[in-house]
Chains A and B, each alone.
Chain A
């Protein structure tokens, strides 16, 4: 799996702003994104991933 930055936004506004940057994806539960990233299946592997606000 390619490396990435893990961001923990403190608010929804912060999360939305961070997610607007290219190469960013919401992690949410992660079971889907993580699986696709492990397999190198995502066409543009996200550079950064967001944890849900407050999580």
Chain B
């Protein structure tokens, strides 16, 4: 049985030989590709710390079998910043104290990125909270997280309005 897969991870093509079909995408990223920015929190799909984007959609990588995603385009927290320039979401999380210990932050930022791409949150804090409800923060930085997402959402909306004006 051929268990080798090819992925694009943060824009780079990676070929991985799997020895077992049980390998999750999370373990592949962390243990095989050494991209440890994606965190293993509960490993049960309940906390969202392992959130990555697969083909632009947010996914709990702990509940994704790597072998199921042959050919996928995966974006992790390592691929978010542009060289030494933080992504606006990363900057906003710092500006709004959107974290304390930081363990959930990679997942929070990937989820926020997915939420913004989905375009379903708008500027309504309640909808942002709902859209981010799959990502737990045990430090309780939720208000800062919501503020950060809202700020980036707002600046993106303004930018797109300026472009269309």
A contacts, CB < 8 Å to B? 1, 3-6, 27, 30-31, 34-35, 38-39, 49, 51, 55
Contact = CB atoms under 8 A, between A and B. Distances in A.
A51 B68 contact: yes
Given A4-B21, A5-B1, A5-B21, A38 B65 contact: no
Interface residues of B, number: 15
B67 to A, nearest CB: 6
B63 A6 contact: no
Contact of A31 (B22, B43, B45, B67): B45
Interface string B48-71: 000000000000100111011000
B123 interface: no
B44 interface: yes
B63 A35 contact: yes
Per DSSP, chain B at the interface is loop
B60 A6 contact: no
B63 A31 contact: yes
B20 interface: yes
Interface in B1-47: 1, 3, 20-22, 24, 43-45
Contacts of A27: 65, 68
Given A30-B68, A55-B68, 5 more contacts: A4-B21, A4-B22, A6-B67, A35-B45, A35-B63
Contacts of B45: 31, 34-35
Interface of B: 1, 3, 20-22, 24, 43-45, 60, 63-65, 67-68
A30 B21 contact: no
B65 A6 contact: yes
Contacts of B63: 30-31, 34-35
Contacts of A1: 22
